[in-house]
Homo-oligomer: A and B are copies of this chain.
Amino acid sequence: MPSLAIHRLPMAHPGDMSAVAALIAAGTLRAGDVRAVIGKTEGNGGLNDFTRGFFTQSLMLLLARETGESVATLTARIPCVLSGGTEGALSPHYLVFAVDRAVAGPRGLALGTAFSPPTPASEIGRDAQIAAVTQAVRDAMADAGITRAEDVALVQVKAPCAQAPGAEARSSDPRLLMALSRAAAALGVALALGDVAEAGEGDLLRDLTKYSNRASISSGIEVVANEVVVFGYAEGWAPGLTAGVAPMADLLDLPGVVAAFRAAGLPADPSVPADQRHRVLGVIAKGEPEKAGHIRGARHTMLGDTDLDAQRHLRGALGAIVASVAGDGQVFVSGGAEHQGPPGGGLVCVFARG
């Protein structure tokens, strides 16, 4: 019955909502249909990046005006995943996912969302969080009407963290706790999808051979629960959209990137041709600075640069590779890819018009 629409929109700055406002004004988008937002803002992507909060405040104010719902209500039902950092070729933009339930279809790309119960700091990075995410993925699949794990294309999770972790937390270091939260969410997804047979808190950040190629996780202190968005194929949804996903073996795995675009039905050879670029509706990629300090035997300098954060290095590099295949810089590329794709590598997911 429902129909999914994906709008890829530019922003002039993190508080600029003019593009989505114009869509609503033109009747192209109903504010009440918005189900999830995923975007890149131009901050530094670190602890002191406030562009994510500025964007979210601005967007929720707009949607509140348009829908009459309160900001609190909207925040509690619309996952809003922002990643800071648009180094190099990357371009600030956001994807608005809207579902029109009045439209019917035989089978197509579906979206479902779910929120776990609030996760206290003591559960972050522990078995309780893994289990909560696994359940939330199942709930989101049910929400979308996706019945089989193999029909899932991507699970995007926004996982909670704690600004000042107390004694009960697994780590008192907020950066490490954030990584543990991402890791727990990734393995929660992997278990729900059957990508790994079993996993526990002892595996987090340790056994990186356990991973899912379909999990994209961010974590933040402003979130209190695990917010889950599932994309996949389901009966009843309108056809026309596709999602393709592929792992990257390492940062330089250009064939892996090309494979994701081809999996979405796009003729990338190696780039998407200019006359096909309008079919690219959104791209999501995750990656990590290689931990041992070298890629294919060549030393890299991402980890020891006092002036330039390793994640900024990573996004600039991975972002350019993905953008060079996609054809422009409006691609979501984010670091912190623990258990998301192969160790030292990552994954790419492409949404396309069929």
Q: Are B313 and A88 in contact (CB under 8 A)?
A: yes
Kindly state whether residue A308 has any CB partner on chain B within 8 Å.
Answer: yes
In the complex, what distance in Å separates the CA atom of A319 from the CA atom of B328? 17
Distance (Å) between the CB of A320 and the closest chain B CB?
4
| Residue in contact with A92 in the complex, picked from B47, B49, B299, CB distance below 8 Å | B299
Kindly state whether residue A267 has any CB partner on chain B within 8 Å.
Answer: no
Which residues of the partner chain B approach A54 to less than 8 Å between Cβ atoms? Answer: 14-15, 50, 53-54, 57
Chain-B contact segment, one of A102-110, A190-198, A206-214, A247-255: A247-255
| Residue in contact with A13 in the complex, picked from B46, B53, B318, CB distance below 8 Å | B53
In the complex, what distance in Å separates the CA atom of A301 from the CA atom of B93? 12
Assuming the contacts A92-B301, A308-B307, A316-B88, asked whether A254 and B50 have C-beta atoms less than 8 A apart, the reply is no
Q: Are B92 and A302 in contact (CB under 8 A)?
A: no
Kindly state whether residue A44 has any CB partner on chain B within 8 Å.
Answer: yes
Kindly state whether residue A122 has any CB partner on chain B within 8 Å.
Answer: no
Output the nearest chain B residue to A84 by Cβ-Cβ distance: B306
Within 8 A of B (CB), among A306-334: 306-309, 312-314, 316-321, 323-325, 327-330
Encode A52-76 as 1/0 by CB contact (under 8 A) with B.
0110011001000000000000000
Chain-B contact segment, one of A152-160, A232-240, A290-298, A339-347: A290-298
| Residue in contact with A251 in the complex, picked from B89, B254, B309, CB distance below 8 Å | B89
Q: Are B325 and A254 in contact (CB under 8 A)?
A: yes
Distance (Å) between the CB of A48 and the closest chain B CB?
5
In the complex, what distance in Å separates the CA atom of A271 from the CA atom of B252? 9
Which residues of the partner chain B approach A255 to less than 8 Å between Cβ atoms? Answer: 270-271
Distance (Å) between the CB of A246 and the closest chain B CB?
14
In the complex, what distance in Å separates the CA atom of A47 from the CA atom of B49? 15
Kindly state whether residue A86 has any CB partner on chain B within 8 Å.
Answer: yes
Output the nearest chain B residue to A309 by Cβ-Cβ distance: B306
Output the nearest chain B residue to A43 by Cβ-Cβ distance: B50
Kindly state whether residue A91 has any CB partner on chain B within 8 Å.
Answer: yes
Kindly state whether residue A51 has any CB partner on chain B within 8 Å.
Answer: yes
Which residues of the partner chain B approach A324 to less than 8 Å between Cβ atoms? Answer: 252-254, 321
Q: Are A90 and B12 in contact (CB under 8 A)?
A: no
> B-contacting residues of A (Cβ < 8 Å)?
10, 12-15, 42-51, 53-54, 57-58, 61, 86-93, 251-255, 258, 270-271, 294-302, 304-309, 312-314, 316-321, 323-325, 327-330
Other 12 A-B pairs with CB < 8 A, given A87-B308, A308-B308, A320-B321: A47-B304, A48-B301, A57-B57, A88-B316, A91-B301, A92-B299, A252-B323, A254-B271, A255-B270, A296-B329, A306-B312, A321-B324
